[in-house]
Amino acid sequence: MKKNVLDLNDIHASVLDRLLELFNRRVSLQLISAFNCDPKNGLQGKLGQPAYLEDWIAKITPLTASESAFDVTFDWDNELGVPGAFLIRNNHHSEFYLKSVTLEDVPGQGQIHFVCNSWVYPADKYKKDRIFFTNKTYLPSETPAPLLKYRKEELVSLRGDGKSELQEWDRIYDYAYYNDLGRPDEDPKYERPVLGGSSKYPYPRRGRTSRPPTKKDPNTESRLNPLMALNIYVPRDEKFGPLKISDVFAFGLKAIAHILKPELSQLDFTPNEFDSLQDVLKLYKGGIELPKVLRENIRNIVPKEVLKEIIRTDSEGLLKFPVPQVIKGDVSAWRTDEEFAREMLAGVNPVIIRLLQEFPPSSKLDSTIYGDQTSTITMEHVEKYLNGLTIDEAIRNKKLFILDHHDALMPYLWRIINCTSTKIYASRTLLFLKEDGTLKPLAIELSLPHPNGYQFGAVSKVYTPAEEGVQSNIWQMAKAYVAVNDTGYHQLISHWLHTHAAIEPFVIATNRQLSVLHPIYKLLHPHFRDTMNINALAREILINAGGALEHTVFPAKFSMEFSSMLYKDWVFPEQALPSDLIKRGMAVKDENSPHGVRLVIEDYPYAVDGLEIWSAIKEWVEDYCSFYYKTDDMVQNDSELQSWWKELREEGHGDKKDEPWWPEMQTLEELVETCTIIIWIASALHAAINFGQYPLGGYPPNRPAISRRFMPEEGTPDYKELKTNPEKAFLKTFSSQLLTVIGIAVIEVLSKHSSDEIYLGQRDTPKWTSDTKPLEAFYRFGMKLAEIEDRITRRNYDKKLRNRVGPVKMPYTLLYPSSGQGLTGKGIPNSVTI
């Protein structure tokens, strides 16, 4: 694929390359023998004579990115024998994307295939000519001797020297701390701590970008101009493909970045606050007027074609968004207690709810610092809702559950409340499992630190369900405070930390330590596609100081610091779905059950569908790994595998290197479990957490992200307003118009599938390996996923499974493996691509 004509920076190079091709062929390839060494070449594989790409000029460079096939004719040399790799040299002035090379009519072999998928820059950008290997798979000890040195040298080149300034064409994978989120040179309010490398702020590592330090703080890396966000360094082959770049989402993130311009954020939009839920619905059904200064600022920066897609405005400046699924079937069903509880099992954050095993709920916070944080929920609050059971009986019968956002939030509450405009509580929500399989909320506890100091414990108030009068309005408010906590925790911990940030060190370590010839590289590589680029872009405009997330989730400027605190609780083996369910008490071990565990709540859509996906991934990984590793000794003696696992623990997740729970990587079983967890995190877990954001949260009253006022107290004007105009009081507390627009715009972009998405059970080429047995196992994996799709569809039609559709009439499809492009609320991409 040539660089396209519309790349204005490259037109002169493209024209020059065509002229030079008239006089001399400029792209050469040399085959490397897999079986015959050349003593003159340090016993590396014998090199064939250069052959050249033919008819470069005859292939018209398209206006947009598209593929072209070229011929190369090699003179066969019997002394060369079967090729195992080739060198390519690009003497043009611009790069091209090399997708694959197929050798036809190789004597004794027929066809030999090379999967390349790499940008090849002009030769003067590299110290050595680029090398590509065949699609054969070799453990290090089984690598043909003529290829062994090439294999090792390629890995050395991908690691770099850890010091050099990184350029656009570099393919260097290296580690860095999260030291690029702050902007201390601009304003002290944009200073942020370095995350990673300390016990106070532990964090996974990111990819090194090598930008110079800021003037004010040598430990903080300088940042790019927001308009240049797409130019942030990631290894060249980790950058988005042309289709993804041309998709609207990249420009959408730019548009959002500029909605957040400081001068715009300071404008007083109070006259345009939402007065009723009907006003919010206008965002989808009629449109609301954007302030003129906001429209003009965005139009000055974003092309109008892009603006039309991202900020759907008509000639009158009305702003519109697609109707979220949560209000498509019924505009008010989101308010019901059943839906509030159902989304803990089938919503966008179904990984927090746990079985209640003691009453009252206790705290794990250090009592010498935080005092007594035990819950104030009493038997009197809940026993009347337990269908005749006592508390003890309900706990014994596994009928009580808790959504607990108390311990995670309490240590940060005063800082958030005193240093930001956010007004939140730590929360505990108790729920009861009814006979029909649905959950009933019993009580919500909202807590603040004691006004005399943390050491005096918490000041708490408990709210219980009510259906009439001001008490019903207060109950709706209590549920919304819980939703604010859950939305922020979801975005920062369940989504960003546990998928995006946790997986990036695996991407880096895999490319640094496992050759493309290695079976585990071939297994994992599809699950890393686009992840480094999306994470780098997120650091530029989403999770940075003053970025979109700081404006739209409750911890505000403490958001990333908050996620660092929660990283202390991250345990790699517990990311396995069965282990996570058992830890939360949502399942028990049961060898007679299909997936080795039995669910405590049978109709738990995320867990039911997830266990099927988990088991399908694990079976595929077992089939694949056992083909290459016949014994545990082979795992132990695989030098690249052991280096990979050592570096992952000691560098990639270096702040966790001394944890006792890391698998030792000494057995095939440990290898299978590890690879299954990696694939699960990158594919299904991320899909379940990400692609429901707009369908469920695109209507902010259902999942508000920020609260601006505390619960009204009786006798105050706010309480009177809550009594006389509950919708206005609700919206004044939870839905600022400007922040709502920003929040919706962000999650709409994050919930979309791009046009080049590759889903679980798919590969970008059918020739990714030459080994028949793994190809057959992969085919079976794809067929199993298709069967799971059918079962998910059937379950969603089963009226007895009330949690699958719920009052909002929204079927649970977040773990349905395949999808089309756009905002679909389903589909499991192979990797964290958005």
User: What residues act catalytically?
Assistant: 495, 500, 686, 690, 834
Pairwise CA distance, residues 168 & 173, whole Å: 13
Helix or strand (DSSP H, E) at 32:
strand 27-38
Task: Reduce the secondary structure of 73-115 to three states and give it as a string.
Answer: CCCCCCCCCCEEEEEEEECCCCCEEEEEEEEEEECCCEEEEEE
First-to-last CA distance in the chain? 24
Q: Spell out the residues 6+ positions from residue 117 whose beta carbon is closer than 8 angstroms to its own.
A: 97, 98, 99, 100, 237, 764
- Tell me the C-alpha to C-alpha distance, in Å, between residue 100 and each of 123, 132, 192, 699, 768: 19, 9, 44, 45, 10
State how far the Cα of 621 lies from the Cα of 667, in Å rounded to an integer: 14
Phi/psi region, residue 210 (left: phi>0; alpha: psi -120 to 50; beta: rest), is left
Beta bridge partners of 609: none
For 210-242, the DSSP string reads: -PPBPSS-TTSBP---GGGGGGS---GGGSPPH
Q: What is the three-class DSSP state of 524?
A: helix
- In the structure encoding, which two tokens stand for residue 578, read together? 């069965």
Q: How distant is the alpha carbon of residue 415 from its chain centre?
A: 28
Are the C-beta atoms of residues 524 and 531 closer than 8 Å to each other? no
In angstroms, the Cα distances linking 780 to 137, 576, 623, 785 are 20, 22, 10, 9
Looking at the chain, the number of H-run helices and the number of E-run strands are 30, 19
Report how far residue 399's alpha carbon sits from residue 355's, in angstroms, rounded to the nearest whole number: 8
Edge-to-edge order in the sheet of strand 318-320 = 288-289, 318-320, 312-313
